[in-house]
Amino acid sequence: MPGAANAAPPPGQAQNAPPTIAPAFRSAPQVTAPLPAPPPDLGLKAVGAGVAVTGPRNLNDFRGQRREVQEGGRTIITEPGRIIIRDPGGQQYVRHSEVDRFRYGARDIQTQTIGGETRTVVIRPDGTQVITVLGRDGQLLRRIRRDERGREIIIIDNSYRDPRAIGGFYVDLPPPVVRIPYNHYIVDAQEAPPALIYDTLMAAPVDRIDRRYTLDEIRYSPTVRQRMPSIDVNTINFETGSWDIPPDQSAKLQVIADGLNRAIQQNPRAVFLIEGHTDAVGNDVDNLSLSDRRAESAATLLTQQFSVPAENLTSQGYGEQYLKEQIDGPSPINRRVTLRNITPLLNGGQASLPPPPPGTAPPR
């Protein structure tokens, strides 16, 4: 394995470096049923070139609105815009709807249910439509962009299912063999030149990908995600307990946004996962909610300020599960977001979706 030794992380910085995996993910979930669907969108209305922002803006407000129930061996905690799931074995997951993020600048939004599928169509001023298709169980089936001429690009197709996935969301793979230098596997956005940012956003998997993975499998299976290099967006730091990105820091996302827009122009089907993280201060539920909102804030800002297409981004929070600085106390380094290209994971190692078999129509 020439060059593999170069992938070793610096001392004390083991975030996402094989074989480091958070203890909660060292074994398969004890509850193997699919994860509950994300909560419905918040029903925000498109207003001119922006979106009305409503609801609580700090964790204290959310704590008072949380409700906890037991369902099928799991603890389900709901709060405005989020649900948090805790399995008996200690694994925890957070889920949210992304439809509201697509509403930015929309001139019309339509929702209809056909044959058990619910379709939300966000229509933009130029006639472009972003179509989100959910199944009967509320799970994402497809994400499609349709231009003003009716031509469609399928960005995410979750119709693929593999029986090896536990509960349809967790895949237990060995850590990847990383043969590239560590600073090209986990890229420091503060130090990386723009060319390296773009190259990382377009990089091939570091290890073999043997099939297509669903978005949930990617979100909740760390060793699946680890097949793709990542960028630590440490140019912005969040205050303790906050998911807001101050104006003086938002401009620091320019290089990231330029790389994303260039990559999406190269491949309109590209999908990038923005991962939110916290430090080890506070409880697990707070940190999962906080990290998920940090990831969503970064995705929203990239769209609203830098025109990165919302439908090519997805976000997920991981709380304190992947500390970059291995300490238990406050850490600005750990309060961060991470970015990676998950297109090859969604498409079985290819840069875009494989064509449908001969004689079949693409999913609509």
Residue 42 sits in a domain whose CATH number is 3.30.1330.60
pLDDT at residue 42, rounded to an integer: 57
| Dist. CA 254–CA 269, nearest whole Å | 21
pLDDT at residue 26, rounded to an integer: 60
pLDDT at residue 237, rounded to an integer: 82
Is 361 a member of any domain?
no
Is 260 a member of any domain?
yes
Is 352 a member of any domain?
no
Give 68's strand partners.
77
Measured torsion, CA atoms of residues 295, 296, 301, 304, in degrees rounded to the nearest 10 = 150
Is 33 a member of any domain?
yes
Tell me whether the omega of the peptide bond preceding residue 19 falls within 30 degrees of 0, making it cis: yes
pLDDT at residue 249, rounded to an integer: 86
**Domain of residue 91, residue span:** 4-346
Structure tokens of 38? Answer: 């994300």
Q: Packing angle between helix 254-266 and helix 284-306, nearest 10 degrees?
A: 70
pLDDT at residue 205, rounded to an integer: 96
State how far the alpha carbon of 181 is from the alpha carbons of 96, 225, 326, in Å.
34, 18, 21
Is 353 a member of any domain?
no
pLDDT at residue 258, rounded to an integer: 97
Amino acid at the residue 168: G
Give 93's strand partners.
85
Structure tokens of 200? Answer: 């990382």
Please say whether the dihedral angle defined by the alpha carbons of residues 356, 359, 362 and 364, taken in this order, is positive or negative: negative
Condensed to tens digits (0 to 9), the pLDDT of residues 237-277 reads 888 888 989 888 888 899 999 999 999 999 999 999 999 99
Question: Domain count of the chain?
Answer: 1
State how far the alpha carbon of 149 is from the alpha carbons of 126, 142, 270, 362, in Å.
11, 20, 21, 18
Is 145 a member of any domain?
yes
Is 363 a member of any domain?
no
CB 153, CB 268: distance < 8 Å? yes
CB 317, CB 94: distance < 8 Å? yes
Tally of residues, the chain: 364
Residue 143 contacts by C-beta under 8 Å, 6 or more apart in sequence?
130, 131, 132, 133, 154, 155, 156, 311
Give 123's strand partners.
108, 129
Which residues in the chain come in under a pLDDT of 70?
Answer: 1-26, 41-57, 351-364
Structure tokens of 159? Answer: 């119709």
Task: Report the relative pairing of strands 82-86 and 92-95 from DSSP bridges.
Answer: antiparallel
pLDDT at residue 109, rounded to an integer: 93
pLDDT at residue 328, rounded to an integer: 87
**The tokens 């190259």 sit on which residue?**
199
